[in-house]
Chain A
Amino acid sequence: MSDLLIELFSEEIPARMQARAAEDLKRLMTDGLVEAGLTYAHAGTMVTPRRMTLALEGLTDRSPDTVEERKGPKVGAPDKAIEGFLRGAGVARGDLDVRDEKKGQVYYARIQRKGRAAPDIVAEVLERTIRNFPWPKSMRWGEGSLRWVRPLHRIVCILTGPEGHEVVPFEVDGLRAGDVTEGHRFMAPGEIRVTGFEDYQHKLKRAFVMLDPVERAETIRADAANLCFAAGLEIVEDAGLLSEVAGLVEWPVTLMGRIDAQFLDLPPEVLQTSMREHQKFFSVRDPETGRIVRFVTVANRETADDGATILNGNQRVLAARLADAAFFWQNDLAVAKDGMGAWIENLKSVTFHAKLGSEADRVERIAALARELAPVVGADADQAEQAARLAKADLTSEMVYEFPELQGIMGRYYAKSAGFPDTVADAVAEHYAPLGPSDMVPTAPVSVTVSLAEKLDKLIGFWAIDEKPTGSKDPFALRRAALGVIRLLLVNELRLRLFNATNPSLVEMRTDLVVRERENVLGAISDAIAAAKEYGTQFSGHLHGDLASADWVDEAVQLYPDLLAFFHDRLKVHLRDEGIPHDVIDACLAMPNADDLTLLVKRTRALAAFLKTDDGTNLVQGFKRANNILAQAEQKDGVEYSFGADAKHAHTDEERALFAALDAQEPVIQKAMAEEDFTTAMTTLALLRTPIDAFFESVQINADNQILRRNRLNLLSRIRDLCLGVADLTRIEG
């Protein structure tokens, strides 16, 4: 048994690749060694900017001897076949066994393989690992052909046993493995000879290399917290930045610096973004005021002046960066105070998508749609339109050009400084939300309106040009947009028929886009657009008219069911997370107005709750029984039993009781349904369970008397209609 230490020492490995690479090294090496017949007790891996380290404990010294039996040709087979078999098995003819089998005598070879020594196997597996390492990007250097993430300079590969350590003889592209590494590039230059992992780790620590990335991150976190605490300030946590910074240093030294007073008035988001993106600084906040007042930077070394020169340099660089940011901010404010007209004009030359026109075209559509949606959401239509017209203006501002992640946030500042009301400015900031399943959902009516309009426009647009998500590909984030619409509607309990034909803006936009696409593809001319406009504004009247013959009308009409199905799929995913099974959703999707997602979800939730009760499941059974009997009878008789059942033909008490129950509950259910009070409708429906069960117990439906039979089938039909009016219970499984 011995311990294996491997270090691959290179020029600086990009921070973002380090963690994954260390895992890959461990996986490829351990898999390879185990496959070759070695075993080990424990594997650990570490990574710094300049080295990846793998330490294996308790590696076996040899792989075991093995014997393989291989079946060969029949005795008496042509010599060629036998020779081929001997070659493949690597044995001599005299060594073959002959065995009796059902179909005659057959040759068998016993292939003995001697176990191999660990160093041979390690060398082989390490070479394969290095040559096939899955770097996201790799390169060649000098005159060599080896690929690595950056030039690879040293390989430590030693096995350490009770008698000491030995270098595994190994070479790749002229680079020979040894037992020598280096410490910190600046603080401890020169070679270090190591004998095993503990010795290695210990010597590296003395040479100012903290091997463990977790230890480096923790050191930075704790030191930064202490510096801030001592100054009565707090750090703005940033886990992504912490792990990146820990990947940029071997010996982290945390320093806190000042931000020039002249820059403290910049919006905090600008300070934070500029410091993080350009300088990889953490922001430090004054808990009293909530403002960013200082920064924390992490250097890769200690110095004789305790970092004074480094900090001074960093402060100067930051000042230059913030001078740029302040320059953008001042220029932008000038445009903003002027009403942002220049930016809005610029949007005409920013392409949103080649087939969907410029950002200006898009803003135009969003503004029209926002106006349309405003009354439904309860927003002021003028404000909604105004916010929509401003929503994308900051895209051409200098600050957002520099920091795209500040889109919307800057828009809010600029809209406010242009003198627009806060509701409008907030909508500019919030119209991108929600960006993910856990992102905040806007609730201010104007924000909700613009956000809905932005997303619906995007979805309808990309549907019109047939750029739908496929499989894992969703380059325009349309799934996210659809989920955004769903969450906006549900959180705000908005009642909106998404694809109602009476919603002219939606219809017009859709037809416009489809026509535009036609134009692109076929060169359709202006009269088609005119026709489309007319078609758009008078949708229902013209749907089946003369225009319906054109291809593009078919396309436009096809668009909505397909897009609605997409929404429904997203909704199913969303509701599944709530624990609502898909058959319950399907039962509600089949109901009218299923493009009103809030109504749909209300119905779904009520049905899901109902089905969890005994009454609910039993009622569904009763419904299904009624439905089956009816279906059979209708198929046999070739008629539909929908003519009103008459109580005067009721013969038994149970039959009369069912009539009475239906007469009593039907109006209650219908009233509740009209009021969309699905819970009351369903609990009332549940009251029918006992009379229905009793009816089935005591009454033979298919009576010999045809009048009685027909009357009873019609009674079942009444039950069926009543149930189907609540949800399509035929879809419920089980």
Chain B
Amino acid sequence: MAKPTCFQDVILALQDYWGATGCAVLQPYDMEVGAGTFHPATTMRSLGPKAWAAAYVQPSRRPTDGRYGDSPNRLQHYYQYQVIIKPSPPDLQALYLGSLRAIGIDTDLHDIRFVEDDWESPTLGAWGLGWEVWCDGMEVSQFTYFQQVGGHDCHPVSGELTYGLERLAMYVLGVDHVMDMPFNKPGHPQSLTYGDIFREAEAQYARFNFDTADTNVLLRHFEEAEAECAALLDQPALDPRTGRRIVMALPAYDQCIKASHVFNLLDARGVISVTERQAYIGRVRALAKQCADAFLMTEAGGWAEPA
């Protein structure tokens, strides 16, 4: 493929590359999440014995990182590219390096390094060992072998790759300010920069996240999501309407995602004290764990009708 000239070239190159290696190219999850890991295609599918391979773009929100569109590299809404393969193939590092070449990084001219960085998500009750991958001193990806998710040992182990798309694309395209990055092909009448699309959104959301979001409403949403999650999982597996066994792990997990995002917003609003913070994280983790337990009771999670 030709060297990318814009943001979407980088995304499309990654989609092509990972699609060609055998990953299902999925679409983003339709909820507000802090990172691509939250997509059930990663959190849930890394559990249980079944093989899995997926790649997708995930819009991610980190309310505290908002800079009103002014910062050259910090955004409250950005894109992650996520690859998850179970079991982790023996040549995952080589596959990963191939993806860098696919987006135009000449590994003969650049210095690619795997630097220890163990990953942990206290809200998901998940951790793994791996590296941050450096290209010429810049972190371009997170590379993790999942060991536990939702409190369960991963067996087999999934290999997870996460690319920070804006930062990676800026590097490949040689752009210093994210808002100056061409989003589609430059030189066309409708050429757009990243800033054309997102600068105002960043300012609007920064104002919302930092000063305007109604904390009482958010606190209530948190409680509601928590209660709803528990209520869904409390339902018996047998669905009275169809007479079928339907464990609602995914709808329950949506509530967990919701609670997690609401917590991030509350955090950005500065209404959560240090001690409360740990308590909230613990509450989200408890939800994630229950959802993981439930997912293992579904067919995708490896559950089978007892013979």
Chain A residues within CB distance 8 Å of chain B: 11-12, 14-16, 49, 137-143, 149-151, 153, 186, 248-249, 279-281, 297, 299-301, 303-305, 309-314, 316-320, 323-324, 327, 349-351, 354
Instruction: Count A-B contacts at CB 8 Å.
Output: 112
Closest A-B pairs by Cβ, 8 of them? A313-B136, A14-B116, A12-B114, A314-B137, A299-B111, A317-B138, A139-B129, A143-B156
Q: B274 within 8 Å of A by Cβ?
A: yes
Question: In terms of DSSP, what is the predominant structure of the interface of chain B?
Answer: loop
Q: Which residues of B contact A149 (CB under 8 A)?
A: 129
List 19 contacting pairs A-B, 8 Å CB cutoff, sorted by A. A12-B114, A14-B116, A16-B116, A139-B128, A139-B147, A140-B157, A143-B156, A151-B90, A303-B108, A310-B109, A312-B136, A313-B110, A313-B171, A314-B137, A316-B176, A320-B73, A351-B274, A351-B275, A354-B275
Q: Which of B59-118 contact A (CB under 8 A)?
A: 71-74, 87-90, 93, 106-116, 118
- Select A314's contact among B88, B112, B136, beta carbons within 8 Å: B136
B239 → chain A closest CB, angstroms: 34
Q: Are B136 and A143 in contact (CB under 8 A)?
A: no
Which residues from A are CB-within-8-Å of B185? none
**Known A-B contacts A12-B114, A316-B176; A350 and B274 likewise in contact (beta carbons under 8 Å):** yes
- Closest residue of A by beta carbon distance from B112: A186
Q: Which residues of A contact B176 (CB under 8 A)?
A: 316, 319-320
B18 within 8 A of A: no
The answer to whether A349 and B87 have CB atoms under 8 Å apart is no
Q: How long is the Cα–Cα vector from A351 to B272 in the complex, in angstroms?
A: 12
Residue of A nearest to B274 (CB): A351
Since A49-B114, A351-B273 are in contact, a sample of 19 more A-B pairs with Cβ atoms closer than 8 Å, ordered by chain A residue number, is: A11-B93, A139-B129, A139-B157, A141-B157, A142-B90, A153-B90, A186-B108, A249-B113, A281-B137, A300-B113, A310-B136, A311-B136, A312-B136, A313-B110, A313-B135, A313-B137, A317-B138, A349-B273, A350-B274
List residues of chain A with CB within 8 A of the CB of B136. Answer: 299, 309-314, 317
- The yes or no answer to B283 lying at the interface (CB within 8 A) is no
Measured CB to CB, the residues of B under 8 A from A are 71-74, 87-90, 93, 106-116, 118, 128-131, 135-138, 145, 147, 155-157, 159, 171, 176, 273-275
- Which residues of B are found within 8 Å of A303, using beta-carbon distances? 108-111
| Cα of A695 to Cα of B176 in the assembled complex, Å | 95
Known: A16-B116, A143-B87, A313-B171. A320 touches B137 (CB 8 A): no
Residues of chain A contacted by B115 (CB below 8 angstroms): 12, 15, 248
Q: What is the CA–CA distance of A297 and B115 in the complex, to the nearest angstrom?
A: 15
Q: Using CB atoms, name the residue of chain A closest to B131.
A: A12
Distance of A139 Cα from B156 Cα, bound (Å): 12
Do residues B72 and A323 form an inter-chain contact, with CB atoms below 8 A?
yes
CA distance A143 to B145 in the complex (A): 12
Beta-carbon contact of B113 and A137 below 8 Å: no
Q: By the criterion CB–CB under 8 Å, are A310 and B90 in contact?
A: no
Q: Are B118 and A279 in contact (CB under 8 A)?
A: no
A305 to B136, CA, bound (A): 14
Q: How far is the CB of A254 from chain B (nearest CB, A)?
A: 12
Q: Are A137 and B274 in contact (CB under 8 A)?
A: no
Closest to B91 in A: A153
Residues of A within 8 A of B107 (CB): 186
Contacts of B88 in A (CB 8 A): 141-142, 151
Asked if residues A300 and B111 are in contact (CB atoms below 8 Å), the reply is yes
B96 to chain A, nearest CB (A): 11
Cα A248 to Cα B134 with chains together (Å): 11
Determine whether the beta carbon of B71 is less than 8 Å from that of A137. Answer: no
Alpha-carbon distance A350/B274, docked complex (angstroms):
7
Distance between Cα atoms of A372 and B171 in the complex (Å): 57
**Least Cβ–Cβ distance between A158 and chain B, in angstroms:** 23
Alpha-carbon distance between A249 and B111 when the two chains are bound, in angstroms: 10
Contacts of A316 in B (CB 8 A): 138, 171, 176
Residues of A within 8 A of B93 (CB): 11
Report the minimum CB–CB distance from B98 to chain A (whole Å): 13
Closest to B89 in A: A142
Q: What's the least CB distance linking B17 to chain A, in Å?
A: 19
Task: List B contacts of A49 (CB < 8 A).
Answer: 114
Please measure, in the bound complex, the distance between the C-alpha atom of A313 and the C-alpha atom of B116, giving whole angstroms: 20
B125 to chain A, nearest CB (A): 17
Most buried by B among A141, A281, A317, A354: A141
Cα(A318)–Cα(B176), bound, Å: 12
Cα distance A138–B110 when bound, in Å? 30
Interface centre among A15, A150, A312, A327, by most chain B C-beta atoms within 10 angstroms, is A150
Distance between Cα atoms of A151 and B88 in the complex (Å): 10
Q: A350: nearest residue on chain B (CB-CB)?
A: B274
Q: List A contacts of B111 (CB < 8 A).
A: 299-301, 303, 310, 313
Q: Provide the residues of chain A in CB contact with B130, threshold 8 Å.
A: 150
**CA distance in complex: A143, B51 (Å):** 10
Contact A142–B87 (Cβ < 8 Å): yes
Residue of A nearest to B67 (CB): A327
Q: How many angstroms from the CA of A12 to the CA of B106 in the assembled complex?
A: 21
Which chain B residue lies CB-closest to A311? B136
B283 to chain A, nearest CB (A): 19
Q: How far is A543 from B183 in the complex, measured between Cα atoms in Å?
A: 77
B107's nearest neighbour on chain A, judged by CB, is A186
User: Which residue of chain A is the closest to B133 with respect to CB atoms?
Assistant: A12
- Are A318 and B137 in touch, CB under 8 angstroms? yes
A350 to B272, CA, bound (A): 11
Is the CB–CB distance between A309 and B87 below 8 Å? no
- Contacting residues, chain A, for B114 (C-beta < 8 A): 11-12, 49
By the criterion CB–CB under 8 Å, are B118 and A137 in contact? yes
Question: Closest B-chain residue to A187, C-beta based?
Answer: B108
Are A140 and B147 within 8 A (Cβ)? yes
Minimum CB–CB distance from A273 to chain B (whole Å) comes to 16
- CB closest chain-B residue, reference A249: B113
Give the CA-CA distance A727 to B156 in the complex, in Å.
72
Closest B residue, CB atoms, query A149 = B129
Partner of A15, one of B106, B116, B118, B129: B116
* A324 to B167 alpha-carbon distance, docked (Å): 14
